[in-house]
Chain A
Amino acid sequence: MNLRKTIRVFVLPALAALGALSAAAQNPSASGSLSVQLQNGSGLQMVLYSDPSGVTLGNSGTASASLAFGNVSAYGALSTNVTRTNGTNSFTVSTPFDINVQVSGLSSSSYTLSGELSTALPTGVTLEVDSVSLSNTASTPIQAKETYGSNLAHTLSAVISTSASGSGGPPTGSTITTTINFVATAN
């Protein structure tokens, strides 16, 4: 009788306390797993940059930039970093800009650069990149083996007739705008 009482009064509570203690000694935890599906594909990235010797681009460092020649004329003052050569019946204004094409997930060592105008230019104006005349009807190859990963300078030129507007020359006093859509294709 004394033994049972002893067990009930002392041992069982002690065991219970011990059990509680052992449960409390280990902090509860929970786990979860998140599966993330990702396929690394292959692709090229083109970024347009201002050239140190060229006109400062709008949105330099993106794939959609703008280049403003400003006022151009055969004999008048030009914007900074715009150069001019005068020909017999035309003059050419030029400025460099940079293209950087990066490659990922692809074992290509070079790319082909081509360009196409978004709209037709007015009479008396042609646009050239690296002396290659561009059109709005087809993409024209500009460079065949460009290397990836560095800023490569290209020369943008506008060849402008010196004839008067209506006589083969361009309109004067109004802004001429077009967009050159460049495409780099991995070789």
Chain B
Amino acid sequence: MNNWKKISQSLLASGVAGLLLAAVSQAHATTAVTASGALTVEATVASSIQLTFNTATSNGVTLTSGAGTNAATLNFGTVTEYGSVPTNVAIATSSSLCSSCFVASTNVSIVVNAADSSSSGFSLAASVSAPTHGEVLAVGTSGALSTSATSPTPITGSFTYGSSGNALQVSLGIPTATADSTQMSDVITFVATAN
């Protein structure tokens, strides 16, 4: 008798479960109203490098503007051959860079980052826009920079990628015959090329 009860209970339970299952599956079978669209996306990833300027942590004049960008301003301030020297500017009264001149120097940090590239290093070159007061500009040990943007002067050295940057000396050779209070403004264009 107990077995029959168990069997009937079991059948009842399975019947209810079956009904529930059927109800659930029917609810599930209700077709959702949908619409579809397809957007084909195309992109070509290119390797790239980026050059930015920062104030050099050692012996560098604080960049007036544009630190962290690729268009910065470095102001030597007022320089004299024999007078007071601005902070982080060095004055040399003689240099192989120019004759009858004195040279003001400071450091700048050049930061080059690479993306999607297997390059391990890069080369640097620089050129300067035509100086208007007979001044001569140099970066590192390059000597006088080329005034041709298409033929920039190679900068000697071994440079590394990364935010720690590469400190480079920027030198400005000023003719001693330059009139007092002459304002000089030159643009040095740097080109980094991944090796």
- Contacts known (A74-B115, A75-B113); A108 close to B42, Cβ less than 8 A: no
Q: Which residues between 130 and 187 of chain A lie within 8 Å of chain B, taking CB atoms?
A: 156, 158, 160-167, 169-186
Query: How many of chain B's residues have a CB under 8 angstroms from any CB in A?
Result: 25
B115 touches A179 (CB 8 A): no
Q: Is the CB of A171 within 8 A of B45?
A: yes
B24 in the interface (beta carbon within 8 A) = no
Q: Which residues of A contact B115 (CB under 8 A)?
A: 73-75, 91, 162
Asked whether B36 lies within 8 Å of A182 as measured between CB atoms, the reply is: yes
Asked if residues B39 and A170 are in contact (CB atoms below 8 Å), the reply is: no
Contact of A48 among B37, B43, B45, B47 (CB under 8 A): B37
Q: Are B45 and A64 in contact (CB-based, < 8 A)?
A: no
B38 close to A75 (CB less than 8 A): no
B35 within 8 A of A: yes
Main secondary structure of the interface of A (DSSP, over half): strand
Contact A173 B35 (CB under 8 A): no
Residues of B near any A CB (own CB < 8 A) = 32-50, 113-118
> What is the distance, in angstroms, from B190's C-beta to the closest C-beta of chain A?
14
Bound form: Cα–Cα A46–B41 in Å? 17
Report yes or no: B34 in contact with A70, Cβ–Cβ below 8 A. no
User: Which of these, A97, A174, A183, contacts B44 with CB under 8 Å?
Assistant: A174
User: Which A positions have Cβ atoms within 8 angstroms of B?
Assistant: 42-48, 57-58, 63-76, 91, 93, 97, 99, 101, 103, 106, 108, 118, 124-125, 127, 156, 158, 160-167, 169-186
B35 touches A101 (CB 8 A): yes
Q: Which residue of B lies closest to A66 (CB)?
A: B40
Contact of B39 with A66 in the complex, beta carbons under 8 Å: yes
Contact A73 B47 (CB under 8 A): yes
* Residue numbers in A under 8 Å from B116 (CB-CB): 73-74, 124, 160-165, 169-170, 172
Contact of A44 among B34, B42, B113 (CB under 8 A): B34
Assess the A76–B43 pair: CB atoms within 8 A.
no
Q: Are A176 and B50 in contact (CB under 8 A)?
A: no
Closest 9 CB pairs of A and B: A74-B115, A44-B35, A73-B48, A75-B50, A162-B115, A69-B43, A46-B37, A46-B35, A164-B118
6 extra interchain contacts, Cβ-Cβ under 8 A, other than A97-B39, A171-B45?
A69-B41, A76-B48, A108-B33, A125-B45, A177-B40, A178-B40
- Contact present for A71 and B41 (CB under 8 Å): no
How many Å lie between the Cα of A133 and that of B115 in the bound state?
22
Contact B43 A176 (CB under 8 A): yes
B118: A residues at CB distance < 8 A: 164-167
**A46, A124, A174: which has the most chain B beta carbons within 10 Å?**
A46
Bound-state CA distance A10–B50 (Å) is 116
Instruction: Assess whether A176 is in contact with B45, with CB atoms less than 8 Å apart.
Output: yes
The distance from the CB of B54 to the nearest CB of chain A, in whole angstroms, is 16
